């Protein structure tokens, strides 16, 4: 199977909505000033990102796109202190919440990009990431807004590019239309193969999945759907 090219993604449209809602709590606001500079990913627009330089001792590199309040990211990082977890989230209230989790749990293996994840993806080298995690992205479920969805053919190809052979991509949504949209695009992405049998129950959560408060709200139109792909 041919290797996907390293596309430069032309993205005049944002794939996410608002970047701030309620006022950030004082403690979290303080962490934005003190902790965030220490754990921030270097500006990806300034040049290529070298994950090895961010955490030389890390045995793996994971990328979580749209980490929300940071519960899942922090839990995964705590389970695997040997893994560098790079989290991307443009919603500032979510970033502030994630910093609280990092601070309270004393996590040393998390780096944050408080902006568009696609800039980080573009800056990462080929075959440099072991896992890509995309949990409950903005569904943009109205047909006229589908073009704003994070998962497009171009981004699927970009995820395949940065994954190491054998690396995995997990996509989770509670909107059935988005699951079908994602399945269609991931299936036609060169270099990706779905994990498990074709008739696998896509409502079955993987063993290492972490249920968050957001997931428990059941805001979509279906029980969460899990799609897992491996880089060939």
Of the residues 50, 126, 138, 177, which is catalytic? 138
CA distance 113 to 128: 17
CA distance 225 to 176: 8
Sheet holding 110-113, edge to edge: 110-113, 83-88, 60-65, 129-135, 163-173, 225-231, 192-194
DSSP states of 172-228:
EES-HHHHHHHHHHHHTSTTEEESS-TT--TTSPPTT----HHHHT--SSSS-EEEE
Does 89 appear as a known binding residue?
A: yes
Does 213 appear as a known binding residue?
A: yes
- Cβ count within 10 A of residue 78: 17
Please say whether the beta carbons of 147 and 185 come within 8 A: no
Please say whether the beta carbons of 32 and 99 come within 8 A: yes
Is 138 assigned a catalytic role? yes
State phi, psi for 24 to the nearest 5 degrees: -75, 135
Q: Pairing between strand 60-65 and 83-88? A: parallel
Does 142 appear as a known binding residue?
A: yes
Does 116 appear as a known binding residue?
A: yes
Does 212 appear as a known binding residue?
A: yes
Does 43 appear as a known binding residue?
A: no
Does 25 appear as a known binding residue?
A: no
Does 138 appear as a known binding residue?
A: yes
* Residues in the annotated binding site for substrate: 142, 174, 212-215
User: Could you tell me which residues are annotated as the binding site?
Assistant: 64, 89, 116, 138, 142, 174, 212-215
Enumerate the active-site residues.
138
């Amino acid at each position: 199977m041919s290797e996907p090219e390293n596309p430069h993604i032309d993205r005049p449209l944002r794939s996410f909505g608002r970047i701030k809602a309620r006022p950030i709590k004082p403690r979290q606001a303080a962490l934005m000033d003190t902790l965030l500079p220490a754990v921030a990913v270097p500006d990806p627009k300034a040049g290529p990102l070298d994950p090895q330089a961010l955490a030389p001792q890390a045995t793996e590199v994971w990328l979580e796109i749209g980490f929300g309040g940071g519960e899942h990211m922090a839990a995964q990082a705590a389970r695997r202190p040997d893994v560098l977890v790079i989290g991307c989230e443009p919603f500032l209230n979510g970033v502030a919440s994630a910093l609280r989790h990092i601070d309270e749990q004393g996590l040393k293996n998390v780096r944050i990009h408080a902006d568009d994840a696609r800039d980080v993806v573009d800056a990462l080298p080929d075959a440099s990431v072991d896992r890509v995690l995309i949990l409950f992205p903005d569904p943009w479920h109205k047909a006229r807004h589908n073009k704003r969805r994070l998962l497009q053919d171009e981004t699927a190809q970009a995820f395949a590019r940065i994954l190491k052979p054998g690396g995995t991509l997990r996509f989770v949504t509670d909107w059935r239309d988005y699951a079908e949209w994602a399945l269609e695009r991931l299936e036609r992405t060169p270099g990706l193969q779905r994990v498990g049998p074709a008739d696998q129950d896509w409502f079955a959560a993987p063993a290492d999945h972490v249920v968050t408060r957001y997931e428990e709200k059941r805001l979509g139109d279906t029980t969460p759907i899990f799609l897992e792909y491996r880089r060939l």
